[in-house]
Structure 1
Amino acid sequence: MDISNLDVLCCRIRIGDPDPSNPMVIQNPIEINEVHEIEICESYKELISTAKLKFPKGTVYQSTIIGTITAEGKDATRITTEVMQDGIIIEKRKTQNVIEESTFKTGQRINIKLGYNGYLKNMFDGYITTYNSGSMVEIECENMAYKLKLKQAPKFETPVSGTNVNDILGEKYNLLKDTGFKIHGETKKFNIQIGKVKITDNFTVADILSEWSKFKVFCFLKYDADSPDDMPAIAIGRPYSSSKSQPVFPTDISGPFQIYYDYHVASSDLKVVKVDPKFLAVTGKALGSDEKFFEVTIRLNPEYDPQKAGSNEFQVVNATQVSKKSHKLTGNTTAKGANTKTKVDLSTYTVVPYMSPNMKINSDKLVEETIEYFRNYNLNGITGSVTLFGDFGLNTAVQVELIDYRNPSKNGVYLVEEVTTTFGVNSGYRQKLTIPHKIKNVKTYDSK
């Protein structure tokens, strides 16, 4: 056996005190290179991603001590010196100790790097939120957005229309002021429009950004290639179900990542679901002029006759009723299908959600958008997930291109919604991807 061809799992976990002047710097860190299990969960639908780590009691960590050292009971044989900018020579010693209950504390910074053969990729930056000690020492962490839960949001009110996320997160309203975060460069280009924003209560910045998910405007952390430092930026996107064409998400220069089933995939339960258009329904949702949500559901008319004048191809069912008072104040038309309180049973239908990107629209306009979305909907969808080896170290909201020679119906470019990364003695290094949205089909590949 050629030992040079073996791939050896490696991890580097650094834990220490946060630097008040630079959130990405870890002060007085300890370093751990062995772990029982790591699980990292992130999704573009959640601002806060999480990490859980388990260590056996007795796990060894390494730390650096500067200056006079008492090495009793510790391995302090590795001694180095460093010349500071002012010319002072300091002594550094590497010392080792074992993990115990007092090793960790809440609020500490943590950085996790994973990879093979010493080639490590940064997979998580955040803070320790919980720890406990039993037969295993366990710590739970949240990503850098944890800082936004501790920052009070400024109070302001925007106009009814014409508000965009660039203004909210930028200098006009200063939602991110003094947080250390900036808006992602790709997000700025999209200039995503949102409805009226009114902050009059004691909300944190994290509360505000998480609230936008109700509008299918998702905020998450993403590293920006144009950023001069390593601090992740606030990325914002709309998924396929809220866009009439392409999803609006920051892209990666290196993407889409090509996933070959016969090489990169550890396991898969992906299924191609073919939907009969006769039993497809689309539920469109929008924010009306009265700042309240309403919805309509569209399905094909079973009695549609293209040769018959006045025959409608689509039916509107289960629409939200608009009160006379609301109609008088907002001019919001009540869609057909809202005239009765009887709800149509759609349990045998495939019901697809659609969120209008336009604010303050009426029912008629929402019906038009929902019908257009119905016409363009890909009836051959994907359900399930695919588990990869840790070759790529992927994050949420990246694009992957699936290449399966045996089942070419799966081939295409997908947007990764959720990534669950596991690393440890039982699972090895795996990444489970949820990829419900196909962005585009690709050419048919010839088998190798």
Structure 2
Amino acid sequence: MSAMKQEKSCEKISKRTKPATDFSKVGGLSNHIKILRDTIIVPLLHNNVYTHFNIKTPRGVLFYGPPGTGKTLVAGALATEMNKEGFGKVSFYQRKGADVLDKWVGESEKKLRALFETATKNRPSIIFFDELDGLAPIRSAKNDHVHCSIVTTLLALMDGLDSVAGVIVIGATNRIESVDPALRRPGRFDRELYFPLPSTEARKEILQVHMQTWRHKPANTFLSYLAALTTGFCGSDLQALCAEALLCAMKRQYPNIQKCPLGKVKIEASELRIDDNDFIDARKNLIPSSHKLGNRIRKLSPIIAPLLQHQLETILSRIKMLWPHFFMQFYKYLIGSERYIGRVVLVGSSLQGLTAHIVPAILQNLEHLPALFLDATIMQNKNILSNFCKNLPSVLVIPRVDDLWSFLEINEQMYITSLLEDIHAGLPILIVATYEEELPLMVK
């Protein structure tokens, strides 16, 4: 029993001594941090102003984007930053779908109500729902009654926060198109923030954040080279890269580290230095998460670039000339007042590298925008396609549309055609289609 008590006390001590993450330890997301300050921190600091003008302060923010791009990190850093601003002790409640779901009828809803009651009592507080799509999926005939009841309860609880100041709800998801649309309106989740894969400059900032306490830091020029070398890496991949580089440095300076018995080799951390070659070796040992998930966003490889670079630059220059706003990451859109939609059709075969090289390279230049590939798998769940068109701005890719058309039934062809026709010209959606032989008449 004494050993167990000692173990628990050690856990408590480790939790107390663990350094809190704040915005200074978040790299490559400066605009997201600015939006969170304006959306959450400023209204809470000056709640009297909002009360005077009878305006409700924002209650929720929805984070979405690929895995490992910093959604959970930013949510935790927001709580720490609010502590610094003088709100007092900010309570942070993190829940996943598995934490709330219960096998007994009514227990999941009871857990949700208890969570919101506790957060209300301990104001100011932040409720963070990770993997929100698993907790609040789209209500339909396919979903069982349990999920529909949970979504309804969550909607009612978030509506009840209108009269409660100091409770912020943050949701995070990798599949925003699978989240129930009723949650995605002002008054519930007031803002939606897209967390893209970091750009070259953002990757350099993230690496600098991880290395800010190092005694021997790599040169700035090498960091720029390393950032360019890690295309497709998310924030967690870059953290793993630093850990792998440290391991490579230990093996290089202590070759017998794995052969000697445990504890026989003493490594002086202050004398250990991670060289540039350690990072190069570490890069060879890692596969980015986006590539494991079948990511179709990548630069032209050095072998292919001499053949297709001119064609790529021609296509990008045409898009920039007609729709320059798609290349501006934080462009302010006046939805409904201006024409933003873009439609591009590319002709060529897979043997010419169109689908395998050109389209991924186009998306790499637009990596700050969410992209969806419309293929046979997406047609099995039409809700994903219709809900994705609500993500603004975004890129919709229809590869090999002539092959897809021959595979689809007439009702599915009509569905895609009507969906493309219904996309309003004032919505910032770039549609990129490719075909080899002949464009289907309905699409033309």
TM-score range, shorter chain: under 0.3
TM-score by length of 2: 0.23
- Structure with more helix by fraction: 2
- Structure with more strand by fraction: 1
Larger Rg: 1
